[in-house]
Amino acid sequence: MTVLRRILSTSIDRTGASFLALVAAVALLAPVLNLAVPESSPLHWSTFVLTLVGKYMCFAMLAMAVDLIWGYAGILSLGHAAFFSLGGYCMGMYLMRQIGPRGVYGHPVLPDFMVFLNWTELPWFWIGFDHFWFALIMILLVPGALAFVFGWFAFRSRVTGVYFSIITQALSYALMLAFFRNDMGFGGNNGFTDFKEILGFDLQQNATRAALVVATAVALAASYIACRAIVGSRAGRVLGAIRDAESRTRFLGYRVESFKLWVFVFSAVVAGVAGALYVPQIGIINPSEFAPINSIEVVIWVAVGGRGTLHGAAAGAVLVNYAKTYLTGALPEVWLYALGALFVLVTLFLPRGLSGLLPAAVRAR
């Protein structure tokens, strides 16, 4: 308790407190505006808006995970969509098992796609996913373990900079190709969908959806506090030192590899949790989530919001995705050009992103 209080008092500044207040407000308003406010009222949030808010918050978590390693430790990962998707697939496996005999083929154990492939029994790696607690552990473990093994080899071999970015991209691409194959046992290019329930609650019910939004807000706030605690500690300053002068840090006696590895693993776990919260709200997970472009988009969110700020990354994720939702609806052919132009403009004129504007605006007032 005292440790938590110390972390809160030393590492959460005023901007951080406003950010947490905003997330808390969303968590409180979402169920009220959706469930209690009548549909005729202009304040009412439709199911669509509710899902959108939940989705944006998942993306905000993902952006924060990328910002932690890119903004603070200088590690540019172009493969974070992979960790996000793996977390999502773990949740998806649980949700598939919850369908039970209600699938199209009505098989008591096997999900539809396995029946379709003429499989007769559940593959070993699906065992345990009928339990929520097991899925929960896997959501943390699978992305974390992959990041650990991958980071162990990459950082130990002192792969840095653009080379690291390229191999993370390759990792994500390789996983996408693997998950596209039907015999991998993850539903091939259709992935998982048609979920029914989570923990016994109907996923089509607004109350369940509101609860998921609240859970996402809690996870977002918790990740923010955890990231803040890391970057506000001496470990955070060591990460900055590694970013600015890696070999100097090594000669000071720090195991640079292990610092990079731990922060990378932590970041991957956060991304995995975000993915796991994303899937039940969106209702589908398929291999296109691993697509290299997804990881690159995350980097753009962070750049737009301002790297090395955490809340800026979250804001960037929400703003860019809001623009995406709007533009892909109104002018679908323009979206990719707009995204590219946004990245170029931000890099040229706003090297510190939108949050770089913030202190200036405060000063002007």
Partner 1 sequence: MTVLPAYRLEPAVRRRTWRELREAAVRRAPPPLTGKILYLEKLTVSFDGFKALDGLTLYVDPGELRCIIGPNGAGKTTMMDVITGKTKPDSGNAWFGHNVNLLALSEPEIARAGIGRKFQKPTVFEQLTVFDNLELALAGDKSFLRMCVASLTRAQRERIDEVLETTGLTSFRGAQASTLSHGQKQWLEIGMLLMQEPELLLVDEPVAGMTPHETERTAELLLSLAGRHSVIVVEHDMDFVRSIARRVTVLHEGRVLAEGDMDQVQRDPRVIEVYLGA
Binding-site ranges for partner 1 (CB under 8 A): 3, 229-230, 233-235, 237-238, 240-241, 244-245, 247-256, 258-259, 262-263
250/324 with CB nearer partner 1: 250
Element (H, E) at 122: none
Q: Report the distance separating Cα 221 and Cα 253, nearest Å.
A: 34
Closer of 89 and 264 to partner 1 (Cβ):
264
Q: Enumerate helices (H) and strands (E) in the chain, giving the number of each.
A: 15, 4
DSSP code of 33?
I
Nearer to partner 1, 101 or 351 (CB): 351
Cβ 61 to partner 1, closest distance in Å?
20
The residue among 280 and 353 lying less far from partner 1, judged by its C-beta, is 353
Residue the block writes with tokens 């004129």: 349
CB of residue 273 vs partner 1: minimum separation in angstroms?
19
Whether 59 contacts 274, CB under 8 Å: yes
CB of 6 to partner 1, least distance (A): 8
- Count of residues making up the chain: 365
Question: From the CB of 165, what's the least distance to partner 1, in Å?
Answer: 22
Instruction: Using the minimum distance from each CB to partner 1, give the nearer residue, 145 or 174.
Output: 145
Beta carbon nearer to partner 1, 35 or 238:
238
How many Cβ atoms sit within 10 Å of the Cβ of residue 327?
A: 17
Q: How far is the C-alpha of 163 from the C-alpha of 147, rounded, in Å?
A: 16
CA–CA distance, 296 with 305 (Å, rounded to integer)? 14
The distance of closest approach from Cβ of residue 289 to partner 1 in the complex, given in angstroms and rounded to an integer, is 30
Cα 273 to the center of its chain, rounded Å: 7
Task: Judge contact between 188 and 180, C-beta under 8 A.
Answer: yes
